[in-house]
Amino acid sequence: MDWRWEAAISEGWRNWVSGRWVSIIVTLLAIVAVALPATADALVAARVARAEQVWIDSGGRVLIATNELRGVDASLCERLRLTPGVDAAAAVTRLPDLVGTAVAPGADLSVTTATAGISGLLRLAHPIDGIVIGQTITDRIGAGESVTLLPRRNPTTTGDPTSGPTDVPAGPWHVSAIADLSVLGEAYAYGVILPTLAHGPADACYVRAAPGQTNALRDALPAIFGSTITAPTVVEDRLIGGAFSRDYVVEYRERPTAWLAIASGAALGAMWLLLRWVRRGQDSLYATVGAGTRTRGLIRMTEWALTLAVGTILGLVSATCVVMITTGQPETLPLIARSTVIVGAVSSAIALVWVTVPQREILTTLKDR
């Protein structure tokens, strides 16, 4: 028989189609081998990403620069927004006065002034042009399009909540945004933020570092704001770290599912070798009708290519659907593709062993049958 490459590929196709249940079972195993590690790795990575985002939203990567004796320069703090490695920066001052509103006169809300950079720090969609109200108090004070504040002295500092003038303008104030103010600290969450110009000293400068820049900024901020022995500038993390704090970058890099695709690919390739060993008599029959080693290898690799192609496509689609429905994070798609490539490469490398390793004598193999 004249075994040209077209005939060998056609024979491999016929074998794969006529294999029926064997082809179906092997293809299903290939689908599982592709989908399982891709799904597991993507879900673990998505969980780490969600936890990191919660940490960031709560004040992760936020540094607070303070100087008790002379405060921090508000204009210098505001200009930090233009510095490479800084995501957002705002100068913040907590006023001693409390305020109520027309709807809730006794609300006792804290009042904080902040420069324009507060919109970036709070991840607002637009610059603030009015008051920012804490999310936790909107129901109580009846926040609408505008709010009239009722300033009064803080009874904890004056003893008389009605005595003397205050530093808080009554308004009415346009409500620019409702936001979670806990990123500034729990003491600010139950209150309001008023816009102010970036001049003079401020109580603190809040700086959100870009990924990987936290340590560099922590070291640089004292020099930027000026620090002396008598008037030191102190830089603190908004969220306290420590030996038991999580390092999300390390968690992501060292996640155990990252290389699960290698084990899955190896198992799929080993399964293919086992199948070929069980059905090794077929190769001997091909040899008896004139099919050489190269021809037999082309037949088997055609069968393998068809199995892997169908398994890869369906496994990739399955993993993508599960991950997107579960997490809704398109950022995980590259991880799914990476895992799929690894499974295909590892399993194919092992499957090639059957066509590269010398086979036994034809008569010996036929006797085994």
Residue 60 pLDDT: 84
Proportion of the chain above pLDDT 90, given as a percent: 29
Residue 267 pLDDT: 94
Q: What is the mean pLDDT of the chain?
A: 81
- Asked whether residue 204 carries a pLDDT value surpassing 50, the answer given is yes
pLDDT in tens, 61-107: 899 999 988 889 999 999 998 888 899 999 999 888 788 777 777 77
Residue 263 pLDDT: 95
Asked if 304 contacts 12 with a C-beta cutoff of 8 angstroms, the reply is no
Could you tell me the pLDDT band of residue 251, with boundaries at 50, 70 and 90? confident
3-class state of residue 99 by DSSP:
strand
Asked if 282 contacts 366 with a C-beta cutoff of 8 angstroms, the reply is no
Q: What is the pTM of this model?
A: 0.71
Instruction: For residues 274 and 265, give the distance between their C-alpha atoms in angstroms, rounded to a whole number.
Output: 14
Instruction: For residues 199 and 216, give the distance between their C-alpha atoms in angstroms, rounded to a whole number.
Output: 26
**CB neighbours (10 Å) of residue 249?**
12
pLDDT in tens, 255-301: 999 889 999 999 999 988 888 777 766 665 565 655 556 666 677 77
Which residue do the tokens 């009605």 mark?
A: 162
CA distances from 181 to 44, 112, 114 (A): 30, 10, 12
3-class state of residue 253 by DSSP:
helix
pLDDT in tens, 210-230: 888 888 899 999 999 988 878
Residue 58 pLDDT: 81
- Asked whether residue 367 carries a pLDDT value surpassing 60, the answer given is no
Instruction: For residues 196 and 348, give the distance between their C-alpha atoms in angstroms, rounded to a whole number.
Output: 64
- Report how far apart the first and last C-alpha atoms of the chain are (Å, whole number): 23
Could you tell me the pLDDT band of residue 164, with boundaries at 50, 70 and 90? very low
